[in-house]
Structures are given as C-alpha cells and as structure tokens.
Structure 1
C-alpha cells in the first residue's frame, strides 16, 4: 500500500528553509518544518495549509533531534526527503572568536546535520525507501571570510559530509547531495542590503548582477530531491550567480 511521502526541512521557519518547504509542499509532499523558532515555524506551516506542520527542534541538541525523528516516525506517512538547512553564524574577529561560539556554530550547522542524516538514513533503509537528502552548504565551503571562520569550517565540513554519506547510503538507493548558496536575499544579508557600498562590492563579485532569491535555492533543492536527479549523488550545486567562477574584474 502506498503511503504519504514526507519531507523534513530543518531551519524551515524563515528564508531558504521556508522556501524549500513551500516548493516540496507544492510537489505533493507532506512537509514537516523544524525550527527552534516555534512561533515562526508554526506560522510558516499554517501558511502552507494542509499537509504541513511544524515541530520545535534545536539542531544543537541530540535529544531534540532524536525526538523530532521519533515524532515523524509516529505519523501516517514515510520519510522520503530530508533537507538539512538549519544553520547559524556568529561573526567575530578570528583572534577574538571564543571556543564556545566556534563549537556552537559547528554543533548546529554540521553535527546536527550529521545526526539528522543518520536518523533519516536509518529510517529510509528500514522502510526500503530510495530517498533523497540535501545538505545546505555555501560558497564559503570553497572560499572564506575571516570574521566567520566557524561558519566557513562548518560548511566545508558539510560538503565532505555530503560525499561520505552519499557513498555510505548509495547501496540502499539513497542519494545525498548539497546546494551551496552565494549571496541570497535573506535576513543573513540584510545588513549588506542596507549598505549601498557593501552591496556594490557584492555585485562586483556576482556576474549575474543581483542577489539570489530563496526560491532560486529551493528550486535547486527540489530538483535534487526529484526523479530528474535520480543518477546524481555526492555532488554540490552552487547557486551563486557565477561568483565562484569569477577570477577578477578589470
């Protein structure tokens, strides 16, 4: 008997995660929006309507992650897709960054994604699901900004987690890929938006000449989840307006 396909999106209350939940919902999946921001996640799920619900989860807390998957397992449906989108940044001068802040960013951005991938992979293997996992990395897996060193390290780790998990889960028909956004018009770049000089600098490094939209990233995630990407695993697609391809401008 066919069961309802469920997609889990972490960090789904705002921005890219919310856009990912919306596009997967439009594709006919029941969507679970997980986020530490309970009120915003609830509002985002209610905006989608039927077949969407929210769950409060701190992705730095292994017990809450385990409870999240236990909750999904109790629902009427089968987990077929996971989008590891939850992430945070704590800017600081490299020499002043505290160990606590460094570890907190890695716990949310990387360790939480590792644990979620384990839980999802175990459920998919148990249920015989040839599912898809998409990790949210960043152009900062390839390039770096010294004031967000912990973020850069976490996203570089996410790129390697993607490859390792893809190899581990391939025998079960489970695909693991990643999407690496560039400068996307979300709250994380709001301060850049408000500063014309800073925005001009970003645009000078962006061949397509605009900020990306959360929907640009979400549509790429949806492609990787879907059957059109059935023979793609262990890859990262950078949604960056050509930024990583740019050497220099004259």
Structure 2
C-alpha cells in the first residue's frame, strides 16, 4: 500500500522516541511536512538531522499554559498523531496524587488540548482532517502496576469516540491504535522481568509482542484516505491478545 502525504502538514506528539519518532520518519518519507513535538530537546536535534525540514517544538505537554504558548500558533495542520504518554509503574495501593495528575495531564488532557487547537484550525480552513490517538490494549485489559496508565487509556477510548462524533460533521475523522507491548524504552520498563515477560509473550496467540513498525503502519493507514469511512474506531495491534 503506497501512501503519499505530499502537500499535507502533520503534527506528532511524543516525537522524540519510539513510536512517535518512527511515525515522524515515516510521514517525512511519505512527503508530509511534520511538526515534531517532544519535551526532550536533544531528541529533536537528532531527529532533525535524520529528517531535514521537520519543524521541532520542545514543550512539556503536561503543562497546559506552556502547550498553549508553544502550539497555539502552530498554523495549518491536516494530520495529528497524539502519541505522547508517560507510564508510571506503581501498585494501586502505592499510587500517589502526583502519579495520577501527571499521567492524566500528559496522556489524556494533552490529547484534548492539542486536538482542540488542531481541529479548530481545520474547521476554520474548511478542510477535512484525520486524528489518531495512540492508546493501548490496556484500555481493555488489566496489568499489574498500571492502574492509572490503563485508566488514562480507557478514558481515551471514550474521548476518541466523542471527538469522532462531534468533529465528524466537519469531515474530521478520529481513531485510535491500541498496541500490546512494544519494546520501546517504555515497553521495556513494563517487561523488565524476563521470566514474566516470556510468560506474557506466550499468552499472545502470535507468541510475540508488536514491532514499532506494526504500530506505525496502522497509524499511517488511519491517517490516510485508505480509511476514509473509518472514524471512532480503534485498531488492535495486539498479536491476538484480546482474542485469547
């Protein structure tokens, strides 16, 4: 499937590492102009060398005022990938107010804020658009020490559907991708225990975790016109986990 995003401008959050970084690289290679948002400037510097011409924006999306200042005047955006997230591993009984606030501010509130900024621009320009929220299969299943993270992703499911319903009349589609463990830096934290990691892998019918490329390909599909009638949906990239 050949995807061509020439002439379109995309914004990707959490662009410095993992899924976000590879999404930026894939969009750049497919002709899009990309605004890459990360809180780590060093990651943006190295990404700019790999993808000349991207527009780096360094901001902590957990800070509402800083985000408004950094992205309020971002200009026309046709495609949005809300990928930024934190996974603070903590048993339920040890979870703190700070854990809760940080997780919801970055993982969910920033999706609302950035999507509002981008969608208003699309509506004002009278153009269609596509928004993809990077969620997780733990929106649907439980994992130890991920009570708050899972809650942010469960809430994202309803936010995605609500956005799709309200933005649909403006020809703006909103969907999510819900991967299983992906062995990015974040994923490696979740699977640090090699024995438990192996047991978890064997619970997947395909006996594997997801590759970053698998998730990126699903994001690109949802951004593209190949999914023109898909909105309010979530693609499971879970190696069959939820079927088992």
* C-alpha distance in 1 between matches for 2:18 and 2:241: 21
Aligned to 2:118: 120
Q: Which residue of 1 aligns with 2:141?
A: 143
Corresponding pairs, count:
239
1:8–1:140: structure 2 CA closer, same or farther, 3 Å change rule? Answer: same
Q: Which range moved further: 185-194 or 225-234?
A: 185-194
> Among residues 43, 46, 57, which one is paired with 1:43 in the alignment?
46
* TM-score, with structure 2 as normaliser: 0.93
Report the alpha carbon displacement of residue 99 of structure 1 after superposing the two structures with TM.
1.1
- C-alpha contact 2:72 2:117 (8 A) present in aligned 1: no
**Residue 3 (structure 2) aligns with:** none
Residue 96 of structure 1, aligned match among 74, 94, 97: 94
Q: 1:192/1:156 Cα in 2 relative to 1: closer, same or farther (>3 Å)?
A: closer
Q: Which residue of 2 aligns with 1:219?
A: 217
Partner of 2:157: 159
SS in 2 for 1:133: strand
Partners of 2:123 and 2:110 lie apart in 1 by 20
- Which consecutive residues of structure 2, in runs of 5 or more, have no partner in the other structure? 1-5
Q: Which of 57, 60, 64 is residue 58 of structure 1 equivalent to?
A: 60
Once the two structures are TM-superposed, the CA of residue 195 in structure 1 deviates from its matched residue by: 4.1
Per the normalisation by structure 1, the TM-score is 0.91
Deviation at 1:216, TM superposition (A): 0.8
1:191, CA displacement in angstroms? 4.4
* Cα separation, 1, equivalents of 2:69 and 2:162: 25
Deviation at 1:22, TM superposition (A): 1.3
**Closer/same/farther in 2, CA of residues 100 and 192 from structure 1, 3 Å limit:** closer
Shift of 1:45: 2.5
CA distance in structure 2 between the partners assigned to 1:5 and 1:38 by the alignment = 25
Q: Following TM superposition, by how much is the alpha carbon of 1:115 offset from its aligned partner in structure 2, in angstroms?
A: 0.6
Q: Which residue does the alignment assign to 2:22?
A: 19
Question: How far has the Cα of 1:48 moved from its partner?
Answer: 1.4
Q: Residue by residue, what CA displacement relative to the aligned partner does 1:58-92 show, whole Å, maximum 9, x if unpaired?
A: 1111122222323421xxxx310110000001111
Give the unaligned 5+ runs of structure 1.
none
Secondary structure of the equivalent of 1:210? coil
Deviations 1:166-209 (A, max 9, x none): 00100000000000010112111224666431221121111112
Query: Which of 192, 205, 216 pairs up with 1:207?
Result: 205
- Find the counterpart in structure 2 of residue 188 from structure 1: 186
- Kept in 1: contact 2:89–2:190 (CA 8 A): no
